[in-house]
Protein backbone atom coordinates (compact mmCIF):
# COMPACT_ATOMS: atom_id res chain seq x y z
CA UNK A 1 0.00 0.00 0.00
CA UNK A 2 1.39 3.43 -0.86
CA UNK A 3 0.48 6.82 0.63
CA UNK A 4 -1.64 7.76 -2.38
CA UNK A 5 -3.83 4.68 -2.19
CA UNK A 6 -7.47 5.45 -1.34
CA UNK A 7 -7.54 2.45 1.00
CA UNK A 8 -4.68 3.73 3.15
CA UNK A 9 -5.64 4.63 6.72
CA UNK A 10 -6.12 8.30 7.57
CA UNK A 11 -3.28 10.16 9.22
CA UNK A 12 -3.31 10.10 13.03
CA UNK A 13 -5.11 13.05 14.61
CA UNK A 14 -1.95 14.10 16.43
CA UNK A 15 -0.16 14.83 13.14
CA UNK A 16 -2.95 16.62 11.25
CA UNK A 17 -4.15 19.68 13.12
CA UNK A 18 -5.36 22.22 10.57
CA UNK A 19 -7.31 24.27 13.13
CA UNK A 20 -4.65 24.38 15.85
CA UNK A 21 -2.79 27.71 15.59
CA UNK A 22 -0.03 26.42 17.90
CA UNK A 23 0.73 23.37 15.76
CA UNK A 24 4.23 23.51 14.36
CA UNK A 25 5.30 26.54 16.40
CA UNK A 26 8.22 26.34 18.76
CA UNK A 27 8.02 27.80 22.25
CA UNK A 28 10.80 30.18 21.25
CA UNK A 29 8.69 31.50 18.37
CA UNK A 30 5.75 32.08 20.72
CA UNK A 31 7.83 33.87 23.38
CA UNK A 32 9.56 36.02 20.75
CA UNK A 33 6.23 37.05 19.20
CA UNK A 34 4.80 37.93 22.61
CA UNK A 35 7.89 39.97 23.46
CA UNK A 36 7.63 41.86 20.19
CA UNK A 37 3.93 42.56 20.82
CA UNK A 38 3.97 43.45 24.53
CA UNK A 39 7.60 43.86 25.63
CA UNK A 40 8.92 42.32 28.86
CA UNK A 41 7.04 44.76 31.07
CA UNK A 42 3.77 44.06 29.26
CA UNK A 43 4.33 40.32 29.55
CA UNK A 44 5.00 40.64 33.27
CA UNK A 45 1.76 42.63 33.68
CA UNK A 46 -0.25 39.96 31.88
CA UNK A 47 1.55 36.89 33.32
CA UNK A 48 3.50 37.72 36.47
CA UNK A 49 6.52 35.44 36.16
CA UNK A 50 9.97 36.14 37.50
CA UNK A 51 11.53 35.39 34.11
CA UNK A 52 9.58 38.35 32.65
CA UNK A 53 10.28 40.75 35.53
CA UNK A 54 13.93 40.32 36.54
CA UNK A 55 16.68 40.33 33.92
CA UNK A 56 14.29 39.01 31.23
CA UNK A 57 15.46 37.21 28.12
CA UNK A 58 14.06 34.67 25.71
CA UNK A 59 16.57 32.11 26.99
CA UNK A 60 15.58 32.47 30.65
CA UNK A 61 11.89 32.42 29.74
CA UNK A 62 12.28 29.22 27.72
CA UNK A 63 14.15 27.57 30.58
CA UNK A 64 11.30 28.29 33.02
CA UNK A 65 8.47 27.54 30.59
CA UNK A 66 9.89 24.15 29.63
CA UNK A 67 9.97 23.12 33.30
CA UNK A 68 6.65 24.65 34.36
CA UNK A 69 3.58 23.34 32.49
CA UNK A 70 1.08 25.77 34.08
CA UNK A 71 3.21 28.76 33.07
CA UNK A 72 3.58 27.42 29.54
CA UNK A 73 -0.21 27.06 29.29
CA UNK A 74 -0.63 30.70 30.33
CA UNK A 75 1.92 31.85 27.74
CA UNK A 76 0.27 29.78 25.02
CA UNK A 77 -3.12 31.18 26.04
CA UNK A 78 -1.80 34.74 25.82
CA UNK A 79 -0.39 33.96 22.37
CA UNK A 80 -3.79 32.70 21.21
CA UNK A 81 -5.42 35.84 22.67
CA UNK A 82 -2.90 37.98 20.77
CA UNK A 83 -3.75 36.19 17.52
CA UNK A 84 -7.50 36.72 18.10
CA UNK A 85 -6.95 40.42 18.83
CA UNK A 86 -4.86 40.86 15.68
CA UNK A 87 -7.55 39.14 13.63
CA UNK A 88 -10.26 41.28 15.20
CA UNK A 89 -8.31 44.48 14.50
CA UNK A 90 -7.69 43.43 10.91
CA UNK A 91 -11.43 42.90 10.39
CA UNK A 92 -12.40 46.26 11.93
CA UNK A 93 -12.98 48.89 9.25
State the chain's mean pLDDT as an integer. 85
pLDDT tens-digit map of 34-74? 999 999 999 999 999 999 999 999 999 999 999 999 999 99
Position 27 pLDDT exceeds 80: yes
Instruction: Answer whether residue 45 is part of any domain.
Output: yes
Instruction: Answer whether residue 5 is part of any domain.
Output: no
Position 78 pLDDT exceeds 70: yes
Rounded-to-integer distance, Cα 21 and Cα 18, Å: 8
What is the domain range of residue 50? Answer: 27-91
- The one-character DSSP state at 21 is T
Contacts of 26 (CB under 8 A, 6+ apart): none
If pLDDT is split at 50, 70 and 90, which confidence band does 20 have?
A: confident
What does the pLDDT read at residue 21?
A: 80
Position 10 pLDDT exceeds 70: no
Instruction: Answer whether residue 39 is part of any domain.
Output: yes
| Domain count for the chain | 1
What does the pLDDT read at residue 9?
A: 54
Amino acid sequence: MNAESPSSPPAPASKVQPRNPLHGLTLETIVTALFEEYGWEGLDERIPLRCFAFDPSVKSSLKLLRKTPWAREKVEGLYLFMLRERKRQANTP
